[in-house]
Structure 1
C-alpha cells in the first residue's frame, strides 16, 4: 500500500518536474545571445559581460551540491521553496536593473536559487520511484531538459525582437506556477538529525569556484588555490564527525567510477553543443540564429524519444541503454568527422544521433549511479553528479575553444578537403576514439557492478 501511494505521488511530481526543467533550461541558456546587446548598452567589452553567463554557471554548479546536501538534512519541499524565493528575488532585481552591476547581481542571485532545480531533478526520480521504474522517470525529466534546449534560442529571439533583453529575467518567474504543486505532492519525509559541515562545504565550493575561474581565465594562481582548498577538503572529511561528503561515499567504488565516467562522457558529449555552432559559423558561414535552427531538430527528437529511452533501461536493462547510446554517439562522431564540410541539412541529421545518444547516455549513468548509494546519501551524491556535469561542460568548453582557436593544418580524415574544417574533423575523430575508451571502462568495470547489483537484488 505504501509502495502504491509513493508511486502515485511520483507520477504527479515527475510531470511537474519536467515542466520546471523546460523553463529552467531555457532560462539558463537564453542570455547567451544577448551578450552583445548588454555590452553595447553599458559600453563594455564582450569579455566583461561574459560574467553574465560565466558567473551564472559558477554559482549554478556549486549550488547544486549544496542543495543536494541540504536535501539530506531538511525536507525537500522546504529546500525547494527556499531556492525558488531566491530565484524570484534575482529575477525581480534583474528586471529593474539600470546598471551592469545590478544585471550581474540579479543573474547571480537567480543562479543561487535556480541551482535547486537540477539538484531536485536528480533526487525526485530516486526517492519516488523503485529501481525497476526509475529509468522511465529519468526519461521524462530528460524530455523536459531537451524541450528547454530546443525552445531556449527561439524564445530568446522572440523576446528580444519585441521587448527589451531585460525581460529575459522574467522567464524563470514562470516556474513559480509549479511551487504550490510541489508543496502539495512532495511528502513530509522524515529528516536526518545532525549538523551540516559548513566548513567542509565551503572548502569544496571554494575549490570548485577556483577551478572554474582557472579554466575560464587561465589563472595559475587560481589553480594553486584550487589544489590547496581541495587538499584541505580531503583532510576535513577525514577528520569531521559528520563530513559534508560522507567518507563512505568517496570510498564507494561503484559511485566513484560512475561519477568519473559521467564527467568524461559529459565533457565529450558537450562537444556537440559547443563545437557545432562554431563549425556552422566558420565553415558554413551561418549566422547564430540559423545555426540554432540547424541544431533544433536534434533537440526536438531527443525530447520525443526521452521517455522511450527511460523505458529501455527499465525493460532491457541499464547496460543495453548505455551501449545503444554509445553506438549512436560513435555514429555521430564518425559522420561529423567525415562530412563536416557537407551541407547544414546533412549535419542536422547527424546531430540527431549524437544528441539522442548523449541524452540516453546520461539517463543510463544517472540511473546506475543512483543505485550505488545508501538512501541517506542520495541528496549529496546526486548533487555531486549534477555539479560534476557542469564542471565537465566548463572544462571541455575551454579546451575545445583553445583547440579551435589554434586551428589545424593537418587532416586526419582523408574525406575532408576544406582546410577550415580540418580542426573540427580531427576533434570529432579524437572524441569518438575517447568514447570507445569510456565504452571499455563501462564494459569491464562499471557494467560488472551493474550485473552484480542485479544478481544481489534477484
Structure 2
C-alpha cells in the first residue's frame, strides 16, 4: 500500500513539472529563494576570487603572467562550455541530479586544488574541474526558476539571484585578498566546498523528472574546447604552431556542425548578420574588460607595490560592487532611450576609464579605484544593450540557441582576453615610453595596454553601430 501511494506521488510529480513544480516550490518559497541566492553567490565568487592573487601565484611558482593567468583562463573555458552543455542536459534528464553532480564535481576540483598547492599543473587541473562543475549552477538556477517557481514570484527570484551574483562578483576580490594575505591563496579552493550543504535541501524540494529523448553534441563541444585551448596557448606564448592548430580545429568544427544533427552551435545563426555583429561586439567589449581586470593586480603590485589585501579591498572592491547599481540604471535607460544610447554611454565610461588611467598610470593607485567604478559601470550598460539587441534579432524558435551562443561566446572571450593580456605582460612588445605624462618605466607596459584597450572598445562600438545604429532610437 505504501509503495502504491509512493508510486502515485511520483506519477503526479513527473506528469507535468510545470504544474507540480511551482505548487511545491511556493510552499517553501523563502527557503528556495535563499538557497538559490546562496548557489548564485558561490557560482561567480570563484570566478573573481583568484584574480587578486595572480601575482602571488606567479611569484610562488616563478612563472610569467602569461602562465599564471591560466588559473583564470582554465576556469572560464570549462565554465562557458559547461553552461551550454548543462542547459541542454536539463531538458533531457531534469534538474535534480544534474545539480547534485555539478556541485560534487565543483567540490572535487576544489579539494584537489586545496591539497596540491605546490604543483602548478595540479592547480590548473583543479581549476578546469571546478569550472566543469560550477557551470551547472547558473544553468540549473535558470531552469529551476522558470520551471518550478510560479509566474507571480519569478521576478522576485531573478532579482534575488541577480543581487547575490553581483555581490559574489564584488566581494570575491576582497575575500581573495584577505585569505591570500592572512593564510595562503590555496585556501581559496576551500570556499566552494560550502555549496555541498545545499544538496539535501534540493534533493528534498525538487521533484523527480523522467528522462526525455534528446542528444547532446559532446563531440562538437570537445572540438570547440580544443580550439579555445589551442588559441589561448598561442596568445600566452605566441608559438605559431598553436595558432595553426587552432585554425585547423576550427575548420574541423565548422565542417562538423554542418553535418551533425542537433549541433553544439546552430550553423543557421551565422547567416544572420545583425546577430553575428551583436555577438562579435559582446566578445570584443567583454573580452577587453576581462583583460583589463586581469591586468589590474599586476599593475598595482609592479607600479604601486600594494599588498594583495589592499588590491582586493581598496582597489577592486568599489568597482565590482558598482555593477549592481549600474545594471539597474542601464535597464531603465534602455527602455527610455534605446539600446544604442545605453551602449554608447557604456563605451564612453569605459573609454574614459582606460584613457584616464593610461595618462596617469604611475601617479596614484587610487586613480584606479575610480577608473574601475567607471569601467564596471560602463560594462553593466554594455551587457544590457548587447543582450537586448541580440535577443531582438532572433525568432522565437531561435531564442534558446541564439542566447546560449551569445553567453558561450562572451564567456570564452573573457578567457581569451585574460590570456592575451598575460602574453603581452610577459614580453616586451608594449614595454616602451609613449605618453609624456608617464615617467616610471614599470608603468610603460600598463599605460600602453590601456591605450590598446581603448582602441578595441572603439572597434566594438563601430561594429555595433553598423548593425544596430539605424534601427535603435
In structure 1, the partner of 2:385 is: 364
Of residues 36, 41, 45 in structure 2, which corresponds to 1:26? 45
Match in the other structure for 2:363: 342
Counterpart in 2 of 1:274? 294
Q: CA deviation at 1:248?
A: 2.0
The Cα shift of 1:353 comes to 1.0
Instruction: State the SS of the aligned residue for 2:262.
Output: coil
Structure 1 residues 187 and 208, CA gap change in structure 2 (3 angstroms): farther
| Superposition pairs of residues 217-296 of structure 1, within 5 angstroms | 217-292=237-312, 293-296=314-317
Structure 1 residue runs without a partner (length 5+): 452-458
Unaligned runs of 5+ in 2: 1-18
The reply on whether 1:384 has 2:405 as its aligned counterpart is yes
- How many Å separate the matches in 2 of 1:169 and 1:92? 7
Contact 1:60 1:112 in 2 (8 A): yes
Q: For the pair shown, which has the larger CA radius of gyration, 1 or 2?
A: 2
The structural deviation recorded for 1:314 is 4.2
Matched-pair contact (CA < 8 Å) for 1:136–1:311: no
Shift of 1:240: 1.9
CA distance in 1 between partners of 2:434 and 2:155 (Å):
41
Q: Any idea what SS the aligned residue of 1:239 has?
A: coil
Deviation at 1:230, TM superposition (A): 1.5
> Deviation at 1:403?
3.8
Cα deviation for residue 354 of structure 1 reads: 1.2
Q: Is 1:438 the equivalent of 2:438? A: no
- What TM-score do you get using the length of structure 2 for normalisation? 0.76
Compared CA separation, residues 252 and 290, structure 1 to 2 (3 A):
same
Match of 1:409 among 424, 432, 435: 432
Partner residue, 1:395: 416
What are the residue-to-residue correspondences of 1:131-280 with 2, within 5 Å? 143-160=163-180, 166-176=186-196, 193-280=213-300
Aligned to 1:319: 340
Indicate the SS of the match to 1:427.
helix
Q: Report how far residue 102 of structure 1 moved.
A: 6.0
Aligned to 1:274, what secondary structure does the other structure show? helix
Q: Distance in 1 between matches of 2:181 and 2:439?
A: 38
* 8 Å CA contact 2:38, 2:164 repeated in 1: yes
Residue of 133, 147, 159 corresponding to 1:113: 133
Which stretch of the first structure deviates more once superposed, 12-21 or 235-244? Answer: 12-21
Contact 2:227 2:250 in 1 (8 A): yes
How much has 1:35 moved relative to structure 2? 6.8
Q: Is the 8 A contact 2:319 2:376 kept in 1?
A: yes
Task: Give the 3-state SS of the residue equivalent to 2:109 in structure 1.
Answer: helix
Task: Tell me the equivalent position of 1:455.
Answer: none
- The correspondence for 1:307, drawn from 328, 331, 347, is 328
Q: What is the alpha-carbon distance in structure 2 between the residues aligned to residue 435 and residue 278 of structure 1?
A: 22
Where 1:270 maps in the other structure, the secondary structure is helix
For residues 244-300 of structure 1, give each alpha carbon's deviation from its aligned partner in whole angstroms, at most 9, with x where no partner exists. 222222323333221111111112222431333333333323233323322221122
Q: Aligned to 1:240, what secondary structure does the other structure show? A: coil
Quote the offset at 1:117 in angstroms: 3.4
Query: Shift of the alpha carbon at 1:83?
Result: 1.8
**Bigger shift: residues 13-22 or 311-320:** 13-22
Deviation of the 1:445 alpha carbon: 0.9
Aligned to 1:329: 350
**Offset of residue 108 of structure 1:** 3.2
Alignment correspondent of 1:454: none
Q: Does residue 355 of structure 1 match 2:371?
A: no
Distance 1:317 1:15, change over 3 A: farther
Quick check: 2:112–2:122 contact (8 Å CA) kept in 1?
yes
**Structure 1's 204 and 380: CA in aligned 2 closer, same or farther, altered over 3 A?**
farther
Q: 1:403 to 1:158 in 2, by over 3 A?
A: closer
Deviation string, structure 1 residues 131-162 (Cα, Å, up to 9, x no partner): xxx99998876654443233223223444566
In the alignment, which residue of structure 2 is the partner of 1:64? 83
With normalisation by structure 1, the TM-score equals: 0.78
3-state SS in 1 of match to 2:258: helix
Aligned equivalent of 1:80: 99
CA contact (8 A) 1:197 1:243 kept: yes
Shift of 1:111: 1.9
The answer as to whether partners of 1:237 and 1:243 remain within 8 angstroms in 2 is yes
Q: Distance in 2 between matches of 1:428 and 1:147?
A: 27
SS in structure 1 at match of 2:49: helix
